[in-house]
Each structure stands twice: as structure tokens, then as C-alpha cells.
Structure 1
Amino acid sequence: MNDSGQFYLDIILSASLPVKVVMLILILASVWSWLIIFSKGKVLADARKKAKKFEEHFWSGVDLNKLYQQLNSKKSNGIARIFTAGFSEFQRKKQSGQITVNSVESADRAMRVALGREIEDLESQLPTLATIGSTSPYIGLFGTVIGIMLSFHALSDVTQATIALVAPGISEALIATAMGLFAAIPAVIFYNRYSDKVERIYSQYDAFKDEFSAILHRQIGE
């Protein structure tokens, strides 16, 4: 470890107990946010990839009955889950001899429910990122206030105040502020980035739902 790293480590280890608690909270918050960032990034990337692959297969002219049987035999998610929900409801109405506009509307409702559940799954843990991003600076500021208070309180026991007496406390206080920003900034950046990705995926899913509903409408007229 270089001199600079050792210097900061010494300050952290020699910090007062309240400031250490604040630092520990911020470290845990930072680790938690990075775990969410990596896992959610993979989930969203897989969702986009699977949606693109499914739509390419869907619009290639595949038989919808065969496609439904393939997907229904295994647990599907994403855009495939929306398709199976709508097609299953439409087939149920068809088997009961109720092929009307209401049949398509019923299938559309089933797809909306499936769409809502898929987006809810994609949005999971994003509120945690938002919470970490919004609260970490204030937690760091709380540690800063405590550190400065303890530093000035130490001056009450001496007859001559010097910068050497308050410097360690102020240093640990400022590190607490920096750690709060270190935890908050990535959380805010990736929250905004992932929220935008979820919105794009929602638009893709919703467009497919509308297009598939139009296909079902055409089947009624045939």
C-alpha cells in the first residue's frame, strides 16, 4: 500500500466510534448498491436480448400454435410470457366457441397483466438504488457533523488550541462525507440508466402486445 492509501487507512482506523459506525454503514450501502448494479445490469441485458430473439422468431412466420406449445412446455418470461398469456386466453375462448371481439379484449387484458408483472420484476431493487443514492450523502454529512463536534469538544480540555488537535477529527469527518458521495453517485447514475432501460423494454413489450392483439383481431375476421 502506498503512503497515500496508508494515510487514509490510518485515519479510518483511528476514527471515533460514531464516525466508524457511519463509515461502516456507507461501506455496506456501497457494496449493496454495486451488487444490485451488476445483477440488474445482467437481468436487463438478458431481457433485451431474449425479446429481440423472440420477436425475430415470431415474425419469421412460425406457426403460432407450435410456438405456444413450445413455450408453454417450459417456464417462460419476458415477452414470451406476454405472448403465452394472450394466446392461452384466446385459445380458451376459442375452444368454448366464443370467438368475438370480447375474446381479443380478454386476451389483451391477460397480456396487460403479464406485462405489468414482467415490468415489476425488472424494476425490482431499483428503489433500493434510489434510496442509497438519496440518503448516503446525508449519512456521510451526519458523520461529518459528529466528527467536527468531537474535534471542537476536545478543545475544551486544553488551554491552548492548535490545529494539530482538531486536524484528525476534521480529517475523519471529511472522509465520511467523501464516502457518502462515493456510495451515492454510482447508485444515482445507474438508477437513472436502468430506469431508462426498463422504460425502453416496456415500450418494446407494449408494442408487441398491440401488434399481437391486431393479429388476433384479424383471425376473428377470417
Structure 2
Amino acid sequence: MEMDFSLWALFLRATFTVKIVMILLIVASFWSWSIIVQKLIDLRRARADTDAFEETFWSGEPLDTVYQRIGPEPPEAAARVFAAGMTEWQRSHRRDGGLIAGTQARIERAMNVAIGREADELGRGLSFLATVGSVAPFVGLFGTVWGIKNAFEEIALQQSTNLAVVAPGIAEALLATGLGLLAAIPAVIFYNKLSQETDTLVGNYEGFADEFSMILSRQLDQAGR
């Protein structure tokens, strides 16, 4: 009788432990892809929002006008960094029009906190990709070792080393390794890609914060004269 070696047939013939391993790897793979797609969308939107805001920021429009238009909690990440600095700038003004001591340091601290929040948001989910990329091959290997163990037990029970007896068990076992690699390889590739893009974007926020801080520093120096 011809034996079915389709993926579904191999899964059905696998032992309970190997089936659990395969299901975990499949779930991890789908979860990884959902994170990958979402992060690609989020990063693309964040880059577009950053470019749009920086164009507005450097358009020559007064900073107070820009702040009044976007509000203290704008939807764009770069704008939130700007809003954090401007909020602290406005809070640092006394009623007589002077500035409270330490304004520059507080503004920079407020923007750094905002950048940290944006970095955490952009990096959300990347740790799962790193975990899948490093752990999935070993989980798949565990399934393979367990499946091969059962294949040898079947050989001992049937007291036959015929290839027809050995092949099905080994094929089922190797499927677990294949699923582990299928989950791990995209996770590793996109973890590296998304991490690099996230670091680049956070670097842009930090660069913008430094430039904005220098602008406010010049205004502080002028106000102190």
C-alpha cells in the first residue's frame, strides 16, 4: 500500500508530543508574521509622519504657533517629542515673563523621556521575534529527537530495519525541524531589519531633539541678556 507523505499526513501520524511541538512552532510562526507586518506598517507610517512634521518645523513658522496647532498630545511621534519640549518651555515661564532656573535641563529631560517612550513603542514585539529566532530551531530539534526515538522504538517492536519501517517515523520527526527553521529564519531576518530601522528612527528623534534644544538655548541666551 502506498504511504501518504503529505505534510498533513505526517502531522497526523506524529506522536502527541511531536504534534504539540509542531503546533507551537506553527503558532509562533503566524504570531511572528503578524508582528512583522504590523511593525513594517508602523515604521513606514512613523517615517512619513516624521518627514511631514520636520517639514512643518523647519518651514519658518513660529514654534508657539506650531505648538498651538498640534496641541500637547499630537498623534505623530516626532511631534510628541517637540510637544514635550514646548510644554516644559511654557511651564518654565514665570508670571513676570522671566524663566525659572534650570529650564534648559528640564526641557532636554522632558524630550528624552518622550524619546524613550517612542523607542519602547517602536520596539514592542521585537523581543518576541528575537526569542522565536533563537529558540524555535531548538524546539524543532527537540521534536525531531523525540520523533526519531519513537521511530527506533517502532523498529525494535517490529524487529525490522526495513526502510519502509524507518522512513515514516524519520520523515515525521524531520518535519518538526523544518517547522522550527520556517519559524526562526524570517524572525531573525526581520528582527535585524526592524531593529536597524527602529534605531535609525530613534536616532532621528534624538537628532531633532538636539537641534530643537539648540534653538531654545539661543532663545534662553537672548532672554538672559
Assess same fold via TM > 0.5.
yes
5+ residue gaps, structure 2: none
Residue equivalent to 2:125: 125
1:1-222 counterparts in 2 under 5 A?
A: 7-72=6-71, 75-96=74-95, 97-99=97-99, 102-222=102-222
Distance in 1, matches of 2:102 and 2:209, equals: 16
The amino acid of 2:34's aligned partner reads: L
Distance in 1, matches of 2:5 and 2:82, equals: 57
Deviation of 1:217 (Å)? 0.9
Deviation of 1:77 (Å)? 3.7
Q: Which whole-Å deviations, capped at 9, do the CAs of 1:101-140 have from their partners, x for residues lacking one?
A: 7212111110011011111110111001100111100110
Deviation of 1:86 (Å)? 0.5
Match of 1:173, SS state, is: helix
Number of aligned residue pairs: 218
Deviation of 1:73 (Å)? 6.0
Task: Answer whether contact 2:74 2:83 (CA < 8 A) is retained.
Answer: no
Distance 1:47 1:130, change over 3 A: same
Q: Which whole-Å deviations, capped at 9, do the CAs of 1:147-172 have from their partners, x for residues lacking one?
A: 10000011221233211111111001
Task: Answer whether contact 1:22 1:140 (CA < 8 A) is retained.
Answer: yes
Distance in 1, matches of 2:8 and 2:205, equals: 49
The amino acid of 1:52's aligned partner reads: D
Task: Answer whether contact 2:81 2:115 (CA < 8 A) is retained.
Answer: yes
Deviation of 1:98 (Å)? 4.6
Distance in 2, matches of 1:164 and 1:217, equals: 79
Distance 1:200 1:112, change over 3 A: same
The amino acid of 1:168's aligned partner reads: P
Match of 1:94, SS state, is: coil
Distance 1:156 1:21, change over 3 A: same
Distance in 1, matches of 2:167 and 2:5, equals: 17
Distance 1:68 1:95, change over 3 A: farther
Task: Answer whether contact 2:73 2:80 (CA < 8 A) is retained.
Answer: no
Match of 2:20, SS state, is: helix
Distance in 2, matches of 1:200 and 1:75, equals: 21
Q: Which whole-Å deviations, capped at 9, do the CAs of 1:53-97 have from their partners, x for residues lacking one?
A: 100110011121111112216543411001010011011112455
The percent of aligned pairs where both chains have the same amino acid is: 44
Distance in 1, matches of 2:178 and 2:94, equals: 64
Distance in 1, matches of 2:75 and 2:11, equals: 49
Task: Answer whether contact 1:23 1:140 (CA < 8 A) is retained.
Answer: yes
CA RMSD after TM alignment: 1.7
